[in-house]
Amino acid sequence: ASMGRTLVELFYDVISPYSWLGFEVLCRYKHIWNMDLRFRPAFLGGIMQQTGNKPPAMLPKRAEYMLKDIKRMAKYYQVPVHMSGDDFQRIFATSSLAAMRFITAIDMTNQQYLEPLSREFWMRFWSQHEDISKPENILAVAQQAGLSAELSQKALEMTSSPTVKDRLKETTAEAIKYGAFGMPAVVAHYDGKPHLFFGSDRLELLGSVIGEKWLGPVPS
């Protein structure tokens, strides 16, 4: 089994800036490490609720630290996350449910767009500080990611279907089953068992567990 490729699943939500960091680094490593990277769009709100977790920013000292931390991480990881103090209000006021359902619909129908689409949602929310919850904004993101108007419209209609709603719930439940309590949650299937890594700063450890060499967040 160790000769085969390691399946690495990334459970993420576009409302999570650390998920973006982890996503970009894993994308950079998918052709360097002997792994099959599988994106698993899930709903962070559901994970927080079901595990009794609270957003870190609710603790003022932690929010203060997080601002500096994300600034440093963005620079080190070379990902354009831009965050300021008033962003916390914006995050608390935004639900990512519609966006994650839309991403799920695309995952189910046109998987080739999953990576660029997810990236565009992060770009819009975390780099351009624009809304990602309204249908017109979701369609704008889809267009930016290269989806046709027809495909985007179809995916948008699918977001209210039980099929998509259930799939998102199932993926979220699966993340929790692996032990996730926040995002990003990375699960490596190695040596016949799943290994959970929480956060974007544990990818070096992930490499070590699956027998791969860590070359920093931006491997050349």
154 located within any domain: yes
d(CA 113, CA 121): 12
The tens digit of pLDDT for each residue in 171-217 reads 999 999 999 999 999 999 999 999 999 999 999 999 999 999 999 99
pLDDT for residue 112 is more than 90:
yes
* Nearest of 50, 37, 8, 6 to residue 196 by alpha carbon: 8
Across the strands, what pairs with 190? 193
pLDDT value of residue 74: 97
pLDDT band of residue 219 (cuts 50, 70, 90) is very high
Mean of per-residue pLDDT scores for the chain:
95
**Would residue 133 show up in a list of annotated catalytic residues for this protein?**
no
The mean pLDDT value for 121-135 works out to 96
Which of 2, 16, 127, 133 does the annotation list as catalytic? 16
197 located within any domain: yes
1 located within any domain: no
pLDDT for residue 71 is more than 50:
yes
pLDDT for residue 1 is more than 50:
no
Lowest mean pLDDT: which of 8-12, 81-85, 98-102, 160-164? 81-85
Q: Which residue has the tokens 């039980």?
A: 162
Task: Give how many domains the chain has, as a whole number.
Answer: 1
pLDDT for residue 154 is more than 70:
yes
Query: What does the block give as tokens for 103?
Result: 């991403």
215 located within any domain: no
220 located within any domain: no
pLDDT for residue 26 is more than 50:
yes
- The size of the chain, in residues, is 220
77 located within any domain: yes
pLDDT for residue 48 is more than 90:
yes
Query: Residue 185 belongs to what domain range?
Result: 6-210
The mean pLDDT value for 94-118 works out to 97
pLDDT band of residue 20 (cuts 50, 70, 90) is very high
49 located within any domain: yes
CATH number (domain holding residue 158): 3.40.30.10
pLDDT for residue 3 is more than 70:
no
216 located within any domain: no
pLDDT value of residue 2: 44
d(CA 187, CA 10): 7
